[in-house]
A = this chain, B = another copy of it.
Amino acid sequence: MQAEIITIGDEILIGQIVDTNSAYISKELNKIGISVYQITSVQDEHTHILTALSEANNRSDLVIVTGGLGPTKDDITKQTFCDFFEDHLVENQEVLKIIHELFRRVVKQPPLPSNLTQALVPSKAEVLPNSFGTAPGLWMQQDKTVFISLPGVPYEMKALMQEEVLPKLQERFQRPYIYHKTILTYGMGESAIAELIKDWETALPTNIKLAYLPNLGRVRLRLSSRGPNKKEVIKGVENQIKTVLPLIESVFVGFEEEGHLEVIIGELLSKRKQTLSIAESCTGGQIAELITAKSGASAFFKGSVTTYATQTKIDVLNVSEALINEHTVVSAQVAEAMASQVQKLFKTEFAISTTGIAGPTKGDALDEVGTVFIAIASPNGLFSEKFNFGNNRKKVIERATNKALELLRKEILKN
């Protein structure tokens, strides 16, 4: 079973928003054994949408369309569906009830006439009720192809996928099992890794696909396979992983499907009933933000301090002013003092600190742009390392964040 995604909206084509809907839909479809052949983003323009629908119709069994379902004039998906399916709009009583209910409960005002037009749907459509907004999802069929139209607002689209689209697809279609497993590595380039594993790669069976995904000092190796028998598909991939891991042991960090580094760290600390605090300077709160993005962080994360100005390192963290004057604020000594002080202040087993120059300007520091010291305090002691992460501000912050989590994970495992 092959799917396509069509996202509608000028905001995508002028780069005003990043299309995150497609990635979400692709991932969810993959989980239930449906692979996505192509993603196409088109303008809010009648002929363009019609062409995209008819091309997708010729290629795929399932087409998921997002966007263009709002109550305003620039939203034309419903009318275009009518033209494509030679259909017309009719008022749907179920949707009308949901709209009235939503306005009574949430908006606390009566709906406007334009809100009520949201209850108009193509007569041939099966309506998928939207719990978070006025635009319902639509399920329509042309020849053998199923077309599903969903609103473009991400949380409405996600709720409709979970509550309506995925259960119905699973119920109505036979699908193979698809399995991906992604090896995370750190510290070696993709060609060097390819060299290490080339004999293994050449011998891979044809039903297992390998992809290299390089980014900022990390290379991810994704193995993918599919087939009718779930157990055999998983076994095939897992056996290959067993063979390849010893070849890349020195750079192996973990598996993406087991969660990102911050999730792995959270699980480690929760299991050990140990706690973490963070003192951030150049990373500006990014590490804390990653750590708290997942629910459950309160089990191990006590809190963090972002001491962006030099003076606050003295006032808030009690780092000695003499130490800063002697070694400068971007130094191993100050990084270690920050980690040790935040560990004390928040009464935690582990603490991370960062101090550096994210750039492009140098702030209070004398060192080169890109220089970052990371310190880790643990029940075992205190250490720091110096890095240079280049001259791109975002990249420096991201790499420093990754590296800090990397060092922390290793330190936790030693304790």
For A192, the chain B residues whose CB sits under 8 A away are: 112
Q: Given the complex of chains A and B, what is the CA–CA distance between A365 and B36 in angstroms? A: 43
Residue of B nearest to A276 (CB): B308
A304 CB within 8 Å of chain B: yes
Contacts of A346 in B (CB 8 A): 309, 312, 315-316
Given A292-B306, A308-B297, A309-B298, A15:B11 Cβ within 8 A: no
Asked if A27 and B15 sit within 8 Å, CB to CB, the answer is: yes
Contacts known (A155-B395, A224-B10); A74 close to B211, Cβ less than 8 A: yes
The stretch from A136-144, A244-252, A281-289 touching chain B is: A281-289
Q: Which of A65-73, A164-172, A378-386 is the contact stretch?
A: A65-73
Please give the distance in Å from A292's CB to the nearest CB on chain B. Answer: 3
User: Which B residues are CB-close (under 8 A) to A285?
Assistant: 285-289, 292, 304, 306
- How many whole Å from A131's CB to the nearest CB in chain B? 12
Indicate whether A293 reaches chain B with its CB closer than 8 angstroms: yes
Q: Is the CB of A28 within 8 A of B42?
A: no
B interface footprint on A41-53 (CB within 8 Å = 1, 0 otherwise):
1111000100010
Chain B contacts of A40 at CB under 8 A?
A: 38-41
Q: Is there an interface contact between B14 and A224, defined as CB atoms closer than 8 Å?
A: yes
Contact assessment for A38 and B15 in the assembled complex, using a CB-CB cutoff below 8 Å: no
**Bound Cα distance A288, B309 (Å):** 13
Near B by CB (< 8 A), chain A positions 146-181 give 153-155, 180
Q: Known: A284-B289, A292-B308. Contact between A26 and B38, CB under 8 A?
A: no
The answer to the question of A124 belonging to the interface, with a C-beta cut-off of 8 Å to chain B, is: no
Indicate if the CB atoms of A392 and B155 lie closer than 8 Å: yes
For A209, list chain B residues within 8 Å (CB).
10, 74
Q: How would residues 6 to 40 of chain A score, 1 for a CB under 8 Å from any chain B CB and 0 otherwise?
A: 00011111111111101111111110000111111
Asked if A23 meets B15 with Cβ closer than 8 Å, knowing A285-B286, A285-B289, A306-B285, the reply is: yes
- Excluding A37-B43, A38-B41, 5 further A-B contacts by CB distance (< 8 Å) are A11-B211, A15-B28, A18-B20, A295-B360, A303-B306
Q: Which 4 A-B pairs have the closest CB atoms?
A: A284-B292, A15-B27, A285-B288, A15-B26
